[in-house]
Structure 1
Amino acid sequence: MSDTYLRFVPYDSHWYPDEPAAAAAIKVARELFPLAEHVAVELEEGLTFFDAGANTESIHCPFCGSDIEEWWGDAMDQGAASRFEDLSVTTPCCQKPTSLNDLRYIWPAAFGVCALTVVDPGVTSLASEQLRTIEQAMDSPLKAIWQHL
C-alpha cells in the first residue's frame, strides 16, 4: 500500500515555529484535512531534504530551465557530505550561483529543519486559501510538498 505525505516546509530552510505556532498549525491542518491519518510538526536535527518521492519528475536550472537532474545527483552527494550545512551550488548549464533549495523541482521539494506533515490527507490537491490559512497559523511562508511513497 502506498502513502501520501503533504508536507509544509518554510521557505527559510533554517526557520522553525515556536510551540504556539506549531500547535496552531496542527489544529488548522486537522480541521482542513479531517480524513488524515496523522498530523504533526516534525523538527529535524539538521537540514533535511523533503522530496516528492515517486512524484518527482525532473529538476531544472532556476535561470535557464535546463534539465540538470544528472548533475544534481553529484551536487546532492557533495551537500550530504557536509550534512547540507552549505547548499550553495553553481549551475552546470549557465554557471550561475544558486542554492540546492532554489533549484526548480518538478514536483516541489525543499530543504528545511522542520515540516508540518499531514499523512494521507484524504485530498489530492490544495487550494491557495488552505495554504494561506496554514501559513498564517505557522507564521511563515510555506512550500507545499506532495510526497508519494
Structure 2
Amino acid sequence: MSDNYLHMVPDDPYWRPDRTAAEEAANIVRGLFPQADHVGIEYKEAVTFFDAGANTESIHCAFCGSDLEDWWGDSMDQAAASDFSNLTVVTPCCGKSTSLNDLRYVWPAAFGTCALLVVNPGATSLGADQLRRIEQAIGSPLKLIWQHL
C-alpha cells in the first residue's frame, strides 16, 4: 500500500518556528485536513531534503531552465557530506551561483530543519488563502511538498 504525505517546509532551510507558532499552525492544518491519518510537526537535527518521492519528475536550473538531473546527484552527494550545512552550488549550464533549495523541482522539493506533516491528507491541493493562514501562524513562507511513497 502506498501513502501520500504533505510536508510544509519553511522557505529558509535553516529557519525554525518557535513551538507555540508551530502548534498554532498545526492546529490550523488539522482543521483543513480532518480526514488525515496524522498531522504533526517534524523537527530535524540537521537540514533534511524533503522530496516528492514517486511524484518527482525533473530538476531544472532556476535561471535558464536547463535539465540538471545528471549534475544534481553529485551536487547532492557533496552537500550531504556536510549535512547540507552549505547548499550553495554553481549551475553547470549558465555558471550562476544559487542554492540547491532554489532549483526548480518538478514536483516541488525543499530543504529544511522542520516541517508541518500531513499523512494521507485526503486532498491534493491547498487554497492560497488557506496557505496564507498557515504561513501567518507559523511566521514564514512555506513550500508545499506533495510526496508519494
Q: How far 1:130 moved relative to its partner?
A: 1.4
Q: How far 1:133 moved relative to its partner?
A: 1.2
Q: How far 1:84 moved relative to its partner?
A: 0.7
Deviates more, 1:125-134 or 1:83-92: 125-134
1:83 counterpart residue number = 83
Q: SS state of the match for residue 75, structure 2?
A: helix
Q: SS state of the match for residue 115, structure 1?
A: strand
Q: SS state of the match for residue 72, structure 1?
A: helix
Give the root-mean-square deviation of aligned CA atoms: 0.7
1:120 counterpart residue number = 120
Q: Distance in 2 between matches of 1:128 and 1:27?
A: 18
Q: SS state of the match for residue 146, structure 1?
A: strand
1:29 counterpart residue number = 29
Q: Distance in 1 between matches of 2:49 and 2:141?
A: 17
1:4 counterpart residue number = 4
Q: How far 1:48 moved relative to its partner?
A: 0.2
Q: Distance in 1 between matches of 2:99 and 2:68?
A: 13
Q: How far 1:17 moved relative to its partner?
A: 1.0
2:148 counterpart residue number = 148
Q: Distance in 1 between matches of 2:97 and 2:51?
A: 22
Code of the residue aligned with 1:109 in structure 2: it is: A
Q: SS state of the match for residue 113, structure 2?
A: strand
Code of the residue aligned with 1:14 in structure 2: it is: Y
Provide runs of 4+ in structure 1 moved above 6 Å.
none
Q: How many residues align?
A: 149
Q: Distance in 2 between matches of 1:138 and 1:36?
A: 20
Q: Distance in 2 between matches of 1:63 and 1:73?
A: 19
Q: SS state of the match for residue 53, structure 1?
A: coil
Q: Distance in 1 between matches of 2:126 and 2:58?
A: 21
Post-superposition CA distance 1:13-57 (Å, at most 9, x none): 111111110110111010000001001110000000000000000
Post-superposition CA distance 1:75-126 (Å, at most 9, x none): 0011111111111100010111111011000010000000000001110111
Percentage of matched positions with identical amino acids = 68
TM-score scaled by length of structure 1: 0.98
Code of the residue aligned with 2:109 in structure 1: it is: A
Q: Distance in 1 between matches of 2:79 and 2:44?
A: 17
Query: For residues 37-48 of structure 1, what are the structure 2 equivalents within 5 Å?
Result: 37-48=37-48
Q: Distance in 2 between matches of 1:4 and 1:136?
A: 25
Q: Distance in 2 between matches of 1:124 and 1:134?
A: 17
1:133 counterpart residue number = 133
